[in-house]
Amino acid sequence: MSVFSTSLFTDVDFERDGKQTGRVSLPYSVTRSAYGVIPIPIAVVKNGEGPTVLLMAGNHGDEYEGQIALGNLIRTLDPASLAGRAIILPSANLPAARAGQRVSPLDQANLNRVFPADPAHGPTHEIADWIENHLMPMADIFVDLHSGGGSLDYVPFVSVSLIGEPEQDKQAYALMRAFGGPYGHLWDASDAKLTTGGSRTAGGAAQRQGCIELGGEFGGGAIVNTDHLYLVERGVRNLLAQAGVTPNVAVEPSGTMRLMASDAAEHFSFAPDYGVFVPAAGLGDEVQSGDLAGTVHNLEHPEREPLAVHFRASGLLICVRAIGRVEPGDCLGHLAVDTDEPKF
């Protein structure tokens, strides 16, 4: 491959058996590096024929449990244990990961909002285009591992998108149950918008490319929660086993899973003004509609009464803001409600 390439290229061979670690090179020509590339880590672990699982983290650079778990997986996954292929992209938006930011410092773009991407729009779009049009078409199953990042903190949950196709949804749901964890979140992706380009996320891209699509949130606050890291590592091992990629590995029991959903606008709370948010409920609390979510305090005008924010629905507080300072419109948290086991 020429060093003058203007589009992404890689040194791994997706068809070769064994374990390969390499880079996806994103050409990035700047003053200090005329022919430079951004070397995004990638690994391919393959043995014979079987399903392909594409495992991704670092979609947002300030979310670490998935990035660390996939790095650990790259070092420990034995190709001899496979019947199929794992493609592992642990820090998908490497410029954002280097900076510890949600968005890329190169173009201020959020990778999870630019699909389907036009590579002419900058490096983040180039990465998205390559993921959707080079990696996802090889994959049967796509997993995108998130946390709340610097601004949010989440209870740990694995999620799955159900598209309204019974056979595929049954398999997708079984993968989520095998992944395990205290919470499982169901997304209703049967809306046609998701499969015709309405979704700007990597999950939407995976659905367009015909993949079973799972995700999850495993903490936040831009720290590494070691309990959640364990959940991700066990979950990914279990998912590979359930998918048949590691057919001789048993799915490790992970206890009960509480099934949740959260797709209504009233599940979300937002800051009404500038100030400092003092929460009245904590992560994992059960709250009722009308309960006090917290108060926004004006540091310039301590004589003013703080503004009260109330929950607009009842449910489990699965996400809270991880930064005290708020501006109007900042998400303060969101709720999920219990949902029944799906019927296929």
Footprint of Zn ion (CB under 5 A): 60, 63, 146
The least CB distance from residue 94 to Zn ion, in Å, is: 15
Which of 82, 131 has the CB closer to Zn ion?
131
The least CB distance from residue 290 to Zn ion, in Å, is: 30
Helix (H, G, I), strand (E, B) or coil at 211: coil
Look up tokens 């199953």; give the residue: 141
Cα–chain center distance at 26 = 21
The least CB distance from residue 304 to Zn ion, in Å, is: 35
Which of 93, 246 has the CB closer to Zn ion?
93
The least CB distance from residue 110 to Zn ion, in Å, is: 9
Residue 15 falls in which region: left (phi positive, over 0), alpha (psi -120 to 50) or beta? alpha
The least CB distance from residue 144 to Zn ion, in Å, is: 8
Residue 194 and residue 201: Cα distance in Å, rounded? 9
Q: 239: number of CA atoms within 13 Å, CB side?
A: 34
Which of 215, 275 has the CB closer to Zn ion?
215
- Across the chain, which distance is largest between two alpha carbons, in Å? 70
To the nearest 10°, the Cα dihedral for 208, 210, 211, 215? 30
Which of 152, 296 has the CB closer to Zn ion?
152
Which of 47, 201 has the CB closer to Zn ion?
201
Q: Which of 160, 179, 184 is nearest to 235 (CA)?
A: 179
